[in-house]
Amino acid sequence: MQPAEPVQSAARPVGRGAKVRAAVHAATLAELLDKGYAALSVEDIAQRAGVHKTTVYRRWVDRDSLLVDALADHLATDLPVPNTGAIETDLRALARSLVQMFTSSTGQAILAAMFTGAAHLPEIAAARRHVFDDRLTRGEPVVARAIERGELPRDTDAAELLKTLAAPIYLRLLITAEPVNEATADQAVRVTLAAARAGALRPARVSKAATG
């Protein structure tokens, strides 16, 4: 019987592999930023990453799946759940973090890719939803605490509230192309709170009376 050596077996990252992966990811985002989704070319990405085209194709089946992977990798950052003791400042933190996410220059590029260029890819659609759901999940405790503190009606619908908070920001980013900044975030908070306090963000009533 042999003395079991410190078995580092399990995974074998091989070393170079990880470096290549990172370089290509970075190059992908850089190219995305420079030229946009439509003009992304695997060859250019590879060259920028100091890597050969075939190497890219060895790791990613597709130009698209490379992009998806790079974006997913970039978005894998979870922010902390704010807890300032007051709903207004909590929401402000959430809204502002959303604004920040998409106003850096890379944020812009990612936004463009996720919502316009590569939007047609199912994985990107999934990523989009995932990012959003993530923020919803993170926001729920904030609402719950506010309800406990009596700042909001008991049956306030957290998801609805958070969507109301995010909606105007996305609208400006994606449709009206107005500048988006902290003021935008703050205004969203104001509207959301007003609606919530007025009880407009409780679960949809099932009454079918609302017609006409």
Partner DNA sequence: GATTAACCGAGACGGTACGTCGCGTCTTTTG
Partner DNA sequence: CAAAAGACGCGACGTACCGTCTCGGTTAATC
Q: Looking up tokens 């999940």, which residue turns up?
A: 137
Candidate residues 22, 34, 55, 174; the one interacting with DNA per rule CB under 7 A:
55
CB of 110 to a second copy, least distance (A): 14
Q: Name which of 7 and 14 has its Cβ closer to a second copy.
A: 14
End-to-end CA distance of the chain: 83
Of 114, 90, 125, 108, give the one whose Cα is nearest residue 180: 108
Q: Name which of 24 and 201 has its Cβ closer to DNA.
A: 24
Distance (Å, whole) CA 174 – CA 151: 32
User: Which window, 3-11, 79-87, 110-118, 176-184, contacts DNA (CB under 7 A)?
Assistant: 3-11
Residue 1 touches DNA, criterion: CB under 7 A: no
Binding mask 141-180 for DNA (x = CB under 7 A): ----------------------------------------
Q: Which of residues 15-54 bind DNA (CB under 7 A)?
A: 15-17, 20, 39-43, 50-54
CB-based contacts of 21-30 (< 8 A; 24+ apart in sequence): 21/59, 23/49, 23/50, 23/51, 24/49, 24/51, 24/56, 24/59, 24/66, 24/70, 25/69, 25/70, 25/73, 25/74, 27/51, 28/66, 28/67, 28/70, 29/70, 29/74, 29/106, 29/109, 29/110
User: Which window, 14-22, 83-91, 97-105, 147-155, contacts DNA (CB under 7 A)?
Assistant: 14-22
Non-local CB neighbours of 31 within 8 Å, separated by 6+ positions? 40, 41, 44, 45, 48
CB of 3 to a second copy, least distance (A): 22
Give me the residues that bind a second copy (CB under 8 A), please. Answer: 36-38, 84, 88-89, 92-93, 112, 115-117, 119-120, 125, 128-129, 132, 160, 163-164, 166-168, 170-172, 174-179, 181-184, 186-187, 190-195, 197-201, 204, 209-212
Residue 77 touches DNA, criterion: CB under 7 A: no
CB 43 within 8 A of CB 53: yes
184 binds, among a second copy, DNA, none (CB under 5 to 8 A by kind): a second copy
Q: Residue numbers of the site for DNA (CB under 7 A)?
A: 5, 8-9, 11-17, 20, 39-43, 50-55, 57-59, 61-64
